[in-house]
Structure formats: structure tokens, C-alpha cells
Amino acid sequence: MTVIRTLQADDTERLLAFETDNRAWFEQHVEARPRAFYSAAGVAAHIADYLDSYRAGAMHPCVLTSDDGSAIIGRANLRRIDRAAGSGEVGYRIGHAQARQGLGSLALLHLMELARKQYGLRRLDAWISPQNLGSRRVVEKCGFTHDALAAPVLVQVNGTDRASHLYQCHL
């Protein structure tokens, strides 16, 4: 059984292994992380930054772990939390070996529940490129719809500009 929990300071080694093992897979779909990220110091700084944002109430970073908790197999983040506006943004990444097993949906439903119950949010946003069919299926399955009026944002994926489109869900 997959466990979803809040990111912890001692996740550095597990997170570095997850991100390194899946780097090529992720970079087919989303912007590449800076080269400096892929080191123990880079991941530790990343975790510290995310935990600072978590303590400030601006985000809730989560990891999905293997049954025994020894490995991270996915990530899910509720970020840009704005309680006054009742909104936030979601993002997730599932390891290549665990793709197409329902973990993206599980992670997104977990974030939706956190957003609603813990943070009192009423709307969630997700930015997805049309080429990322798996993520688009996940958000649509969970009740998100494409906001055709929102201007797309350009992102670099494998050296190519891709439009990222806004999907929204009202909780």
C-alpha cells in the first residue's frame, strides 16, 4: 500500500534517488531542474526551502512512498496557497516504474482533500501541456476542466517551448 505523507527533512537521500532515477522521464514532460539540484546539498536545500514554505502556510509538500517507506515513488505538492482568495495550485510527479497505476489520481485526490479540509480552499489550479497526456487524464478524471480563456504559459521542455494550459477545479 502506497503511503502519502508530508515531506521531511530526512528525505534527502530518498528524494535524490527518486529524482535522479526519474530525471530523463520527468524531463520529457516538464521543465528540467537546475543541474545543481542533483546532489545531496541541492536536494537538502530544496527540502529546506519547501519546509520553510510549509511552515509559512504557503505550500504543503508531500511524498508517496513504497509500502515499507524505504523509497519515494512520487511527489505531490499543494502550493501557492492563498487562504484569502481560497485558491491554490497542485503539481505531482510519479516515478516512471509506477506510472499508469493510479498513483497520480491518488496523489491529486489527497491534495484536493488537504486543500478543502486543512486549508479551506475552494479552487485549485494545475498547469499542464497538451503533450503531457497522462497528467491531463489525471486532472480531468479528478474533476478539473480546461480554462480556455486563460493565457497559456510557455515552458521549456527538452529545449522546446511548450504551452502549459490552466486546468481548474472548484472544491
The pTM is what?
0.91
Sort strands 87-94 and 123-128 into parallel, antiparallel or unpaired. Answer: parallel
pLDDT at 160: 77
* 103: exposed, middle or buried (Cβ count in 10 Å: 0-12, 13-18, 19+): buried
User: In angstroms, rounded to a whole number, what is the distance separating the alpha carbons of residues 16 and 167?
Assistant: 29
Contact yes or no for 121/171 (Cβ under 8 A) = yes
Average pLDDT of the residues of the chain: 92
What are 5's strand-pairing partners?
Answer: 63
Paired with 82 in beta bridges are 87
Per-residue pLDDT tens over the stretch 83-116: 999 999 999 999 898 888 899 999 999 999 999 9
The lowest-confidence range among 24-28, 75-79, 89-93 is 24-28
